[in-house]
Amino acid sequence: MLILPSWCLFSLVTLRCQALPHFSNQSLKDDTATAAEQLREAESETKALRMMTQRMILSQEEMVCALN
């Protein structure tokens, strides 16, 4: 699944609204909800990657123990 940055997702929804004014409110709400869900998923993945990266970085104490 392609995950786009939040600014891109909301820009797409905005452009869609401007280009196709005959869209129903429900359709726009659905698009906005989808974009918001993708944003939450991207933020969650970013948080998980950040935590994993932090676990991979050894503290000074861990490095000393690893050398002994």
Number of domain units in the chain: 1
46 domain-assigned: yes
Find the mean pLDDT for residues 54-64. Answer: 79
2 domain-assigned: no
Domain that holds residue 50: 8-14+23-67
Handedness of CA 30, 31, 33, 38 (dihedral sign): positive
Residue 21: DSSP 8-state: T
Alpha-helical segments (H) within the chain: 6-19, 25-56, 60-67
29 domain-assigned: yes
* Mean predicted lDDT score pLDDT of the chain: 76
pLDDT at residue 41 greater than cutoff 80: yes
The pTM of this model reads 0.52
Is the pLDDT higher at 43 or at 16?
A: 43
Q: What does the pLDDT read at residue 20?
A: 55
Find the mean pLDDT for residues 10-17. Answer: 59
Q: What does the pLDDT read at residue 26?
A: 82
3 domain-assigned: no
Q: Of 46, 35, 41, 37, which Cα lies nearest the Cα of 13?
A: 35
